[in-house]
Amino acid sequence: MRTQIVAGNWKMNCNLDESLHLLNALKLKDFSKADVEVVIAPPFTNLYPIHQNLNDSSIKISAQNINENEEGAYTGEISPDMLKSVGVEYVIIGHSERRAIYNESDELLAKKVTAALKHDFKIMFCIGEMLDQRKADKHFDVVKEQLEKGLFHLSASEMKQVVIAYEPVWAIGTGETASPEQAQDIHQYIRQVLAEQYNQDVADQTSILYGGSVKPNNAREIFAKKDVDGGLIGGASLDADSFAEIVMSF
C-alpha cells in the first residue's frame, strides 16, 4: 500500500505570527481518521519555530527548496544540514516556480536530489507541463524527460525516498484543474515510466501526488483516482479549514 500524502506548500506566505497561528489551527484538526500523511512546507524562517511548536502532532515538516552544496560561500542559500538541524523531514525539489522564476535546470535539480538523499530527506519532486505543451499534446514527453533528467540517476532503493508531484503548470494558482481523468491518465503514465526504468515494485510503491488548484470541492474526485495518492496544495493550504477538508477527502 502506497503512502497517501497531502502536503501544504505555503510558498512565500505567512510571517512568523501567521505561521504559528495556522499551525495552531491545524493542530486542532483531527487528522487521525484519514489514512494520510499530512505535511506542511512553511517558509525557511518559520521552520524551526514550527518544529518547536508541533508538540505531539503527527504533522511533518517540509522545506520548499534546498541547496545542492554542503556549505560555504553561497550567499542567501540554505544547506541540507541546516534543514536537518531544524527538524525538516521532506524537501520540495523542482517546483515549477523554482524552474520558471529562478531558472532551476533539470541538471541542477538532479544535484539537489542527490544532496537531499545524502542527508536522508524524503523528496517531493515536482514535474508538469506548461499550457502550450499540453495543447501540443507533448505532456507525456515533457514529464518523462523531467523524470529522466531529474531522478533517474537514482537507484531503485533510493527511489523509495522519493514522492512525485505532478503539477500541470497551467493549473497552478489559476483556479483551473486537470480533470480527474486527465490526472489519472498522466499518473498512470508516470507509474508506467517508473516500472520501465526500475521495476514494478518501485512503480507500485511510489506515491504520486497531484497539484494545481486542488480545493475542498474537487479534492475528493481527484483523490478517488487509482493512481493519485494525494495532493500538493498551494492556495488552499493557507486556510486551516480548507486544508483539513482536503485531507479528509480521502
Query: Least CB distance from residue 233 to ligand PGA, whole Å?
Result: 5
Residue-wise over 129-143: b if at least 16 C-beta within 10 A, else e? Answer: bbeebbeeeebbebb
The residue annotated as part of the active site, out of 68, 95, 104, 139, is: 95
Please tell me whether residue 30 adopts helix, strand or coil conformation. Answer: coil
Nearer to ligand PGA, 203 or 247 (CB): 247
Query: Least CB distance from residue 218 to ligand PGA, whole Å?
Result: 11
Q: Which three cell numbers stand for residue 16?
A: 512568523
Determine the Cα–Cα distance for residues 33 and 197; give it in Å rounded to an integer: 36
Query: Least CB distance from residue 193 to ligand PGA, whole Å?
Result: 21
The full DSSP string for 69-83 is SSSSS-TT---HHHH
Nearer to ligand PGA, 117 or 232 (CB): 232
Examine the residue annotation and report whether 167 is marked as an active-site residue of this protein. Answer: yes
Judged by CB under 6 A, the chain residues 212 through 241 that form the site for ligand PGA are 212-214, 232-236
Residue 230 among known ligand-binding residues: no
Determine the Cα–Cα distance for residues 116 and 81; give it in Å rounded to an integer: 9
Examine the residue annotation and report whether 95 is marked as an active-site residue of this protein. Answer: yes
Instruction: Tell me the number of residues near ligand PGA by CB under 6 A.
Output: 13
Find the part of the chain contacting ligand PGA (CB under 6 A) among 28-36, 100-108, 137-145, 210-218.
210-218
Residue 72 among known ligand-binding residues: no
Residue 170 among known ligand-binding residues: no
Query: Least CB distance from residue 246 to ligand PGA, whole Å?
Result: 10
The residue annotated as part of the active site, out of 37, 104, 167, 187, is: 167
Query: Least CB distance from residue 96 to ligand PGA, whole Å?
Result: 7
Nearer to ligand PGA, 104 or 203 (CB): 104
Please tell me whether residue 92 adopts helix, strand or coil conformation. Answer: strand
- Interface mask toward ligand PGA for 165-194; x: CB under 6 A: --x----xx---------------------
At a CB cut-off of 8 Å and minimum separation 6, what does 218 contact? Answer: 177
What string of H, E and C letters represents the secondary structure of 191-246?
A: HHHHHHHCCHHHHHHCCEEEECCCCCCCHHHHHCCCCCCEEEECHHHHCHHHHHHH
Nearest residue to ligand PGA on Cβ basis? 234
Q: Is residue 238 within 8 Å of 22, Cβ to Cβ?
A: yes
Q: Give the count of beta carbons closer than 10 Å to the beta carbon of residue 35.
A: 10
Place of cell 530527506: 121
Question: Catalytic residue positions?
Answer: 95, 167
Which residues are documented as binding site for substrate?
Answer: 9-11, 173, 213, 234-235
Kindly list the residues in this chain that would bind ligand PGA in the complex (CB under 6 A).
9, 167, 172-173, 211-214, 232-236
